């Protein structure tokens, strides 16, 4: 379900998985709002750099540009 296939999915159709605000980003296989706290929470929920989304957990831009 949560597969990033292109850069133009409707992120705003989703909600931040942490706080429920309208999503602004898709990071660490989770939708988040603009809050750094939510992004960080998503990262932790993902299991950090050891998760299988490792590539995105290495400080790469939060908007995947290479897919
Ligand atoms: Zn949030």
Q: Is position 65 within any domain? A: no
For residue 47, what pLDDT is reported? 77
Cα–ligand 1 centroid distance for 42 (angstroms): 9
Quick check: 12 and 21 in contact, CB under 8 A? Answer: no
For residue 10, what pLDDT is reported? 85
Cα–ligand 1 centroid distance for 11 (angstroms): 13
Quick check: 43 and 27 in contact, CB under 8 A? Answer: yes
For residue 59, what pLDDT is reported? 62
Positions of E strands within 1-67 = 25-27, 30-32
Q: Is position 27 within any domain? A: yes
Instruction: Compute mean pLDDT per 10 residues along the chain, 67 residues long, and list them.
Output: 59 92 92 94 79 54 60
Q: Is position 67 within any domain? A: no
Q: Is position 41 within any domain? A: yes
Domain that holds residue 33: 12-50
Quick check: 15 and 22 in contact, CB under 8 A? Answer: yes
Provide the whole-model pTM: 0.56
Cα–ligand 1 centroid distance for 30 (angstroms): 11
């Amino acid at each position: 379900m949560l597969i990033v296939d292109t850069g133009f999915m409707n992120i705003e159709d989703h909600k931040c998985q942490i706080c429920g605000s309208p999503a602004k980003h898709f990071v660490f296989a989770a939708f988040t709002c603009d809050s750094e706290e939510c992004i960080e929470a998503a990262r932790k929920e993902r299991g950090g750099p050891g998760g299988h989304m490792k590539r995105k957990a290495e400080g790469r831009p939060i908007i995947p540009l290479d897919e």
